[in-house]
């Protein structure tokens, strides 16, 4: 499979009507008994959050807490579409408690650009928190418990294939290689030795984040600082067909959470440790 060759200087591929996609997302969430909350955002409208309690287990046992977000950049349509597919498929780990943010930048999608309507890159604002979207999002996060695992769905318009970031400072069991192997069956992998100026290997980047020294935090840095000790950011290659990118993201999430040796089992171990078991 080859690149389409459309992305010159920016993303020029297929776009989505974010209102239509969000309507489908909310319909799927309600169909499968997720709770839906709308966060009012001045000058923007609202951001939606979804929450699903475990559907099995109980009895006071600790449960793994998993967070997923997408729609951070308005020129990355595969993430919201992948989430929509995942919600309709409803193959989440039954013992997990889940929190989802389906679209963090609703004003960017109609413009097909990375930034919001005011021209701000939200994914560089999670330390200063100047934008209303990020302020609303982080205020909501502050009301949630700590997560055992976090997942952020993104795209890269320059990439030669799928790749991922893993932030895992405590050395918890990693699913990164297994995810890459699964995605390779449906989408090319970017196997460059350097991606986005960072050392990479086999489609995996494991940065050592400098939280104190970097002023323009992405969401993943905020999550590491305040909400979780283990996160993955999945990057689909947006110069390939949209359907391929959606399948890549769906495969990555499914492999991480429900495949053989799924990371949710490792998250369960962390949850047990959190409960002192």
pLDDT for residue 47 is more than 60 = yes
The H or E element spanning position 180 is: helix 176-183
Give the mean pLDDT of 76-84.
99
Residue 156, SS3 per DSSP: strand
* Domain boundaries, given as residue ranges, for the chain: 18-274
> Top-level CATH class of 18-274?
alpha beta
Residue 116 backbone dihedrals phi, psi, to 5 degrees: -80, 180
Q: Which of 53-57, 114-118, 174-178 has the lowest mean pLDDT?
A: 53-57
pLDDT for the residue 269: 63
Exposed, middle or buried: residue 40 (CB in 10 Å: 0-12, 13-18, 19+)? exposed
Give the mean pLDDT of 214-235.
98
pLDDT for the residue 62: 84
Residue 73, SS3 per DSSP: coil
Give the mean pLDDT of 118-128.
98
pLDDT for the residue 61: 77
Residue 40 backbone dihedrals phi, psi, to 5 degrees: -70, 135
Give the mean pLDDT of 121-127.
99
Predicted structure pTM score: 0.95
Residue 160, SS3 per DSSP: coil
Does residue 196 contact residue 156 with C-beta atoms inside 8 Å?
Answer: yes
Residues 77 and 258: their CA atoms lie apart, in Å, by: 24
pLDDT for the residue 263: 66
Give the mean pLDDT of 48-70.
90
């Amino acid at each position: 499979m080859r690149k389409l060759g459309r992305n010159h200087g920016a993303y020029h591929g297929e776009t989505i009507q974010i209102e239509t996609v969000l309507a489908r997302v909310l319909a799927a969430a309600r169909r499968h008994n997720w709770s839906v909350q709308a966060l009012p955002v001045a000058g923007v409208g609202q951001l939606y959050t979804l929450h699903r309690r475990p559907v099995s287990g109980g009895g006071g046992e600790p449960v793994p807490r998993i967070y997923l977000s997408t729609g951070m950049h308005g020129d990355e349509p595969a993430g919201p579409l992948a989430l929509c597919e995942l919600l309709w498929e409803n193959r989440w780990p039954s013992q997990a408690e889940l929190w989802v943010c389906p679209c963090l930048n609703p004003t960017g999608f109609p413009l097909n650009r990375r930034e919001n309507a005011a021209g701000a890159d939200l994914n560089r604002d999670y330390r200063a928190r100047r934008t209303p979207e990020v302020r609303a999002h982080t205020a909501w996060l502050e009301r949630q418990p700590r997560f055992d695992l976090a997942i952020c769905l993104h795209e890269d318009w320059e990439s030669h294939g799928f790749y991922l970031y893993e932030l895992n400072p405590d050395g918890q069991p990693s699913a990164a290689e297994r995810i890459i192997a699964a995605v390779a069956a449906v989408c090319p992998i970017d196997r460059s030795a350097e991606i986005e100026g960072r050392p990479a290997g086999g489609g995996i980047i494991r940065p050592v984040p400098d939280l104190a020294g970097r002023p323009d935090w992405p969401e993943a840095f905020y999550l590491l600082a305040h909400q979780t000790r283990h996160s993955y950011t999945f990057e689909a290659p947006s110069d390939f067909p949209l359907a391929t990118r959606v399948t890549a993201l769906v495969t990555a999430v499914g492999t991480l959470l429900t495949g053989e040796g799924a990371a949710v089992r490792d998250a369960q171990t962390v949850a047990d440790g959190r409960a002192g078991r």
